[in-house]
Amino acid sequence: MYKLFGIPNCDTVKKARQFLELQGIGVNFIDFKKQPPNEKDLLRWIAAFGGMPVNKKGQTYKKYKDKFEGLSEKDQILFLKEHSSMIKRPVLEGESGEVLSFGFDEESYKTIIS
Domain range summary for the chain, segments of one domain joined by +: 2-113
Q: Which whole number is the average pLDDT over 73-100?
A: 95
β-pairing, 99-102 with 91-93? antiparallel
Three-state secondary structure string covering 51-87? CCCECCCCHHHHHHHHHHHCCCHHHHHHHHHHCHHHE
pLDDT at 114: 80
Q: In angstroms, rounded to a whole number, what is the distance separating the alpha carbons of residues 104 and 78?
A: 25
User: How would residue 96 be classed by pLDDT, with cut points 50, 70 and 90?
Assistant: confident
Averaged pLDDT score across all residues of the chain: 95
Q: Which whole number is the average pLDDT over 12-41?
A: 95
- Give the tens place of pLDDT for each residue, 68-83: 999 999 999 999 999 9
Say if residues 28 and 91 touch (Cβ distance below 8 Å).
no
Considering the four listed CATH numbers 3.30.390.10, 3.40.30.10, 3.30.70.2190, 3.40.50.300, the one that applies to the domain covering 2-113 is 3.40.30.10
Q: pTM score > 0.75 for this model?
A: yes
Cα–Cα nearest to 67, from 49, 51, 80, 55: 80
Q: What letter does residue 31 receive in the DSSP assignment? A: E
- Give the tens place of pLDDT for each residue, 36-71: 999 999 999 999 999 999 999 999 999 999 999 999
Q: Residue 110 burial (CB < 10 Å; 0-12/13-18/19+)? A: exposed
Task: Determine how many CB atoms are found less than 10 A away from the CB of residue 12.
Answer: 17
User: How would residue 97 be classed by pLDDT, with cut points 50, 70 and 90?
Assistant: confident
pLDDT at 95: 86
